[in-house]
Copies of this chain bind each other. A is one copy, B any other.
């Protein structure tokens, strides 16, 4: 079917929803979805439909879609696959805009399921509504407070990042982690088998949506190779598009087929097609998060010259090593910076250069602040990355000192106008070390709030910097 921006927009921004198969029984999808939706506080009317239950979680239920006071924009089906068709007929009669089919048991489950899926699509065409799914977790949209199954604790802050995903689990995972890392979403759409609305529709939608600045996608395959690549090329011309495409080997292709009934296609063809379209090829939710952080805090066209700093010679050597393998540049310090830092870092063990080694995980904080400002201001530095070894540094300056160090990094950024990032890596992971982890998380939040990107390891930082930096940053091997 041809692409229709307004249809998709009406679904993602639905003003009223009904959940058919809503349930009061914990463990059922129909219960988890209602609970999640109530916790998120959907802004419009939320109708619960179940002929067998009178009240669910304290709210009245309706016996059928037809008994509702209005036709909802969006209907969720949390009923078994084989019961879907009757409800879809009702949807067509009532004139709903869209239907989210949560259940599995369609195309991915074999010929019978495939027949069911074809019929569902036929009913949607005839009824004039669109289907999201089947075999999906739905939509997360902080603006109208739609949420994924079972995304009861997602952020209510709206942002400009969109994620479209064939996997429900990964939709939830990215939305959940984005909340922790200060990446607010425009919307996250789990589209499962994609029988009607698919990767092409959703990609075009977010490419055209003026509120979306960055798009990420998890793809198992597509049935419309040509159309998808056209859509991708157009999207990449508008905004950064991250694509995570799985299905590189035999087993993962088998898995793709039984997960969402997709055809994975050749890994080699995909690889070059993504590169030609101008997409950022990523692998894994962690890598998506890291690249989103780079795009958010540094933008796409940051220079690729980094200054690697930390307290310890091995740390900096390793950081520089990783950075250079990823195609980033770690140029020597300029003479002016070398002189100024030489005056600040006079202790034995400190090495003034790039990498910059404080000689110990943390130095007295006024010196640290002065050093970071000079380092960020170095004329040939586009980005200062400081590796804050939280548990070692804490032994030297205490928890409060760690926060002060974080604030010093944020000030260095603000006062120099340069980009600054931090690596917060915990070298303590026993059950007894929880206070280090707690400190690390609070410091991370403090840094992110102030525009300092945070990564959990130097390896992940430089990888993301390289990926986001575009073709200038090509990995060496």
A103 to B353 Cα, complex, angstroms = 20
Instruction: Classify chain A: how many residues form its interface, as a range.
Output: 35 or more
Contact assessment for A348 and B438 in the assembled complex, using a CB-CB cutoff below 8 Å: no
Supposing A251-B323, A348-B104 touch, asked if A427 and B313 sit within 8 A by C-beta, the answer is: no
Supposing A105-B348, A429-B180 touch, asked if A321 and B247 sit within 8 A by C-beta, the answer is: yes
A254 to B80 Cα, complex, angstroms = 63
A380 at the interface (CB under 8 A from B): no
Contact assessment for A247 and B317 in the assembled complex, using a CB-CB cutoff below 8 Å: yes
Contact assessment for B427 and A258 in the assembled complex, using a CB-CB cutoff below 8 Å: no
Contact assessment for B179 and A314 in the assembled complex, using a CB-CB cutoff below 8 Å: no
Contact assessment for A284 and B430 in the assembled complex, using a CB-CB cutoff below 8 Å: no
Distance between A285 CB and nearest chain B CB, rounded to angstroms: 8
Residue of B nearest to A286 (CB): B457
Contact assessment for A359 and B104 in the assembled complex, using a CB-CB cutoff below 8 Å: yes
A401 at the interface (CB under 8 A from B): no
The 4 lowest CB-CB distance pairs between A and B, nearest first, are: A249-B324, A167-B314, A259-B313, A251-B330
25 A-B residue pairs with CB within 8 Å: A80-B348, A103-B348, A104-B359, A165-B314, A167-B317, A168-B312, A168-B314, A169-B389, A177-B427, A177-B429, A180-B433, A220-B317, A246-B317, A247-B317, A250-B324, A251-B323, A251-B332, A252-B318, A252-B355, A254-B332, A255-B316, A259-B357, A431-B441, A431-B445, A434-B434
Residues of A within 8 A of B (CB): 27, 80-81, 103-105, 108-109, 135, 150, 165-170, 172-173, 176-177, 179-181, 218, 220, 246-252, 254-256, 258-260, 283-284, 286, 308, 312-318, 320-325, 330-332, 348-349, 351, 353-355, 357, 359, 361, 389, 392, 395-396, 427-431, 433-434, 437-438, 441-442, 445, 457, 459
